[in-house]
Amino acid sequence: MEHTGDLEDIIEIRDPEINVAEIMARIRENLGKREPLAVEVDSLVFDPGLGGFLSLEAGLKQSLQQVGLTYDKIYVGDQLRIPTTFKERLVNALRRPLHQLVRFYADLLSSKQVVFNSATSSALAHLARQTERDRKNTDAEIERLRREVAELRQTIEQLRCRRPRGHQ
């Protein structure tokens, strides 16, 4: 049996009381009435304004995770409506080759965008790691300087206490 991609080729119902052709026609008709679904990429990215407040560090981490999950996704789907009438089938038969040609060129551009996204994602991840290392080094340096200032203050206080009263 050659598969055409239709649901009838995937699902086989052998119940004589179920009219598969009628059900499939109703499904196609209902789907044909709907607008094509377009994925809203923005909805995939967490927006701190909608879900709470994130620190700058947590927001950066969350954004980098989203970039890592989506940089290679191409959100271009088949926008041809499922035909419900003979006329729509005929129109789709004419549109499909043109649609496939457009998709071919769109996919070429999308693959170039994925390469750019991959490089950008990698650069951002390296930058985030370097920033984290720098922050840890800065925190350690600040702590060292605080100890040094405390020691200097203690030394100054000791020197004040040893100084004769007349030399203030």
Task: Provide the domain count of the chain.
Answer: 1
* Tens of pLDDT, residues 35-90: 766 655 554 444 555 455 566 677 777 778 888 887 787 766 677 778 888 888 88
* Reported pTM: 0.47
Hey, what are 97's tokens? Answer: 């080759």
Distance CA 129, CA 135 (A): 10
Kindly state whether residue 12 falls inside one of the protein's structural domains.
Answer: no
Indicate whether 152 belongs to any domain: yes
Q: Which of 109, 106, 79, 76 lies closest to 95 in space, CA to CA?
A: 79
Q: Is residue 116 part of a domain?
A: yes
Assess if residue 87 is contained within a domain.
Answer: yes
Question: Is residue 94 one of the residues assigned to a domain?
Answer: yes
Nearest to 99, CA basis, from 77, 74, 72:
77
Cβ pair 82, 28 in contact under 8 A: yes
Residue 109 covered by a domain: yes
Residue 13, domain member (yes or no): no
For the segment 94-131, what is each residue's pLDDT rounded down to a tens digit?
Answer: 888 888 888 888 888 888 888 888 888 888 888 888 98
Domain residue limits at 101: 35-167
